[in-house]
Amino acid sequence: MDPTEKAIINGLQGGFPLTHRPYRDAGAQLGLSEGEMIEEIGNLLARGQLSRFGPLWNAEALGGAVCLAAMAVPPDRFDEVAELVNAHPEIAHNYQRDHELNMWFVVSTDAPARIDQVIAEIERETGLGVRAMPKTREFFVGFRVEV
């Protein structure tokens, strides 16, 4: 990763301009043109150094719901199950953990009742149980990873 790419990742972790020309404005802060900014972010995504570039919505404030979920996935099926889980638009990504519950993900839906539907769909498609862990309290953790 070159210094420009590192500057983009480090610079955008704190937010993205909410303006008419956000790529131009974000790029200007880093000495890049609008086109260079778009190209650099596209390159990071294409190489898999960024898995996603986009907003995080507060689903609950918009009338939806969010739920942490985990599964115990046989190691020989992990990639297959990850593909099935990630095919749902309500799942942004998942994590592999060194634990009996070795696949963790967040279900984010536009309606609270949809959480149970998505979990049931994943169970039906994979043949595996999903442990739903609804939020009882919210904590804000400011998390930055300097690259």
> Which domain range does residue 76 map to?
65-134
Please check whether residue 57 lies inside any domain of the structure.
no
Yes or no: say if 125 and 84 are a contact pair by the CB < 8 Å rule.
Answer: yes
CATH of the domain at 126: 3.30.70.3460
Query: Is residue 72 located within the same domain as residue 129?
Result: yes
Query: Is residue 70 located within the same domain as residue 130?
Result: yes
* Per-residue pLDDT tens digits for 40-88: 999 999 998 887 788 777 778 788 899 999 999 999 999 999 999 999 9
Across the strands, what pairs with 133? 68
pTM to 2 decimals? Answer: 0.69
* Per-residue pLDDT tens digits for 12-37: 887 889 999 999 999 999 999 999 99
Number of domains in the chain: 2
Strand order in the sheet with 103-109: 91-96, 103-109, 65-71, 131-134
Yes or no: say if 70 and 128 are a contact pair by the CB < 8 Å rule.
Answer: no
